[in-house]
Amino acid sequence: MQSRFRSDRRLTVRMGVTLFLLGLLYVAFVAALIVLLKSWVLVVVIAAGVLAAQYWFSDRIALFAMHGRVVEREEYPELHAVVDRLCAIADMPKPVVAVSNMDMPNAFATGRNPDNAVVCVTTGLLRRLEPAELEGVLAHELSHVAHKDVAVITIASFLGVIAGLVVRFAFYSEMFGGRGRKDQNTLAVLAMVMGVSAAVYAISFLLIRALSRYRELAADRAAALLTGRPSALASALTKVSGDIARIPSEDLRTAQAFNAFYFTPALGAEPGLSRLFSTHPSLEQRLEQLGRISAELGEAATPGKAA
């Protein structure tokens, strides 16, 4: 079923190109591991198992990692009411609604398709935002579900996860496996495995970052057009980004692993080099785009009207 969120052909093309390139990289990676480890059964079984787990259980993994729990309407009636209204406007299935007991103001969506999706907000977000701002954030997250880019990011990040696990396994195998009992050939194979895995991780990292930045702009645009209130989304962005910047960096480290899924990345006041490799465009870029949309809609825009 096609939702009323504004479709984005450039996002669709970018998702297709990213998946194609990552697919080629994945095939080359698996082939290299088979040649180096000389055990195609082990490589294929592990790769297939991790992919299946990440695809089918990504929502549960994300909720568990971020201490989120599914909440019913009786517990959070206002939150459910906003999600219900937006889903009705967008003509899309209602996702599972969850809340994470974290002071960091943020939200994320996950799931393999619109019929199996979860939208989660933190208690810190609920405390800080006005109703119109919360509606803008939730519309942003729902657009990720409608555009199916949540599933694409989940699949795309799989290769980086596998490469990272292989690097870690090879490193600890070399460090603690007993160097004296290994011949030079074994050490050379481990070194090559680590090298190939590190290269694959780096390439997949850059591809995912490029897609992630554009999909955030696409979600902002779709949410602003669906609600007709880009200023409310801009206000939420400014407020959330400012509050996150005041949270100590050490308190954000756990959350940073899921930055690609967040409404706003969990970066400290001085992100440094992390800004260059951020999963999101800068706050200035996002506000500039929302400003243009606000000017295009004009004062006659009707809140809640689908674009």
Binding residues: 140, 144, 216
Residues 6+ apart with CB under 8 A from 252: 104, 244, 266, 267, 268
Name which of 46, 33, 44 is nearest 192 in CA terms: 33
Strands (E), 71-224: 96-100, 107-113, 116-122
Binding residues for Zn(2+): 140, 144, 216
Helix (H) or strand (E) holding 68: strand 68-70
Could you tell me the CA-to-CA distances from 115 to 16, 92, 146, 190, 231 in Å, in that order?
A: 21, 9, 10, 42, 30
What does the block give as tokens for 10? 């450039």
| Residue pointed to by tokens 């949410």 | 223
Determine whether 27 is exposed, middle or buried from the number of CB atoms within 10 Å of its CB (0-12, 13-18, 19+). exposed
193 contacts 96 by C-beta, under 8 angstroms: no
Could you tell me the CA-to-CA distances from 140 to 218, 222, 303 in Å, in that order?
A: 9, 7, 15
| 8-state DSSP, 180 | G
257 contacts 238 by C-beta, under 8 angstroms: no
Q: Which active-site residues does the annotation give?
A: 141
Name which of 41, 19, 43 is nearest 193 in CA terms: 43
